[in-house]
Amino acid sequence: MLTILSDDEMAFKDAVRTFAEAEIKPLVNKMDHDAKMDAGLLPKLFAMGLMGIETPERFGGAGSTFMMACLAVEELGRVDGSVSVMVDVQNTLVTNAMLKSANDKQKDKYLPLLATKWVGAYALSESSSGSDAFALKLRAEDKGDHYLLNGHKLWITNGAEASLFLVFANMDPAKGYKGITGFIVEKDFAGFKVGKKEDKLGIRASSTCELIFENCRVPKENVIGEVGKGYKIAIETLNEGRIGIGAQMLGIAQGAYEATVNYVKSREQFGKPIGQFQGVQFQIAEMRTQLEAIRLFVYNAARLKDAGRDFVKEAAMAKLYASRTAEKICSVAVDLFGGNGFTKEYPIEKFYRDAKIGQIYEGTSNMQLQTIAKMEL
């Protein structure tokens, strides 16, 4: 790997890799088959400090950087994309939004819980608002000392495990996106429930759920940021979250690449390992080059974010390239495994399935292209 990390970052990365190999890897196949996160894994993620990486120490977090969060997401993705995206959403979406937009009282109440025992979910998408993110039909009605939320959310990552949901609803449809407001919703609020869990192609252990709001009562003090400014929170958070998805795709590509290198060294045809054939060697060289390009895109965007510099275009480029290229790397890996790559006996088919989602969630590839083009023209 290119030497672009500090000693502390490398030590942290190595620690997460060791943790992932020991605690997650033995569970991967069963979690994928059952389409369910192992409940015993969650306390270990919290104990490892992976659920509050940027959260200040006074709230029980690690007080570290966005770059460190991306390194954790990468290393977890190298073993399992599902655990990787759970940690990613917790850190780059939910915690980041709380750190930037919650008031002091909200931070005091919720950040310690998110750092030590509560999983968070980010609830923006609906059936009619995917790429058109602000075409929200979830309504919020002001009732004096509280709000009532009515409607549905779809495709919400961490839905089954979460205790806290950052929910975006429109208080005044006549105002368009300027009516959108963010709310902190606890799982046991009256009128709220988690609905159907999707049966997915990849990242199957990651829960992707419908959320149902039927006169869901939300206290006035649980508005995050300002009324009517939820669209700003959503945009800023997603810009950061795209880097996290790039890191997830980097990890998935890394896992597929390492498995492939090991395989071509041992798989023999025509009397010698297939890795000795030039045709295979060239494909390995291409995979390695593409992998390092992903890494540079992702790390650069994360560094810009930590430095407080503009990173929106770089985040879009990182997600676009990482998601497209991770799928390519995983596809070539399946090819090089031959028939074995098409079976569940080997890890490659899962890496391939897990990689596809990168071009869809937290902004499709077409939306990333649009963002990049707008900032260039």
DSSP code of residue 198: P
Taking the C-alpha atoms of residue 358 and residue 354, their distance in angstroms, rounded to an integer, is: 8
Catalytic amino acids? 362
What's the pLDDT at 1? 45
What's the pLDDT at 69? 98
Residues carrying CATH 1.10.540.10, the chain: 7-118
Question: What is the Cβ-side half-sphere exposure of residue 95, based on CA atoms within 13 angstroms?
Answer: 32
User: Are 88 and 79 in contact, with CB atoms under 8 Å apart?
Assistant: no
What's the pLDDT at 97? 97
Taking the C-alpha atoms of residue 136 and residue 195, their distance in angstroms, rounded to an integer, is: 18
Which pLDDT tens digit goes with each residue over 158-197? 999 999 999 999 999 899 899 999 999 999 999 999 999 9
Residues carrying CATH 2.40.110.10, the chain: 121-227
Task: Look at the pTM and tell me if it is higher than 0.85.
Answer: yes
Task: Enumerate residues 6+ apart whose C-beta is below 8 A from 37.
Answer: 31, 82, 83, 86, 160, 161, 205, 206, 207
Each residue's pLDDT expressed in tens, for the chain with a length of 377 residues: 455 899 999 999 999 999 999 999 999 999 999 999 999 999 999 999 999 999 999 999 999 999 999 999 999 999 999 999 999 999 999 999 999 999 999 999 999 999 999 999 999 999 988 788 788 999 999 999 999 999 999 999 999 999 999 999 999 989 989 999 999 999 999 999 999 999 999 999 999 999 999 999 999 999 999 999 999 999 999 999 999 999 999 999 999 999 999 999 999 999 999 999 999 999 999 999 999 999 999 999 999 999 999 999 999 999 999 999 999 999 999 999 999 999 999 999 999 999 999 999 999 999 999 999 999 99
What's the pLDDT at 132? 84
11, two tokens: 């030590």
232-376 under CATH 3.20.20.140, yes or no:
no
121-227 under CATH 2.60.120.1440, yes or no:
no
Length of the chain equals 377
Q: 7-118 belongs to which homologous superfamily?
A: Acyl-CoA dehydrogenase/oxidase, N-terminal domain (1.10.540.10)
300, two tokens: 């650069």
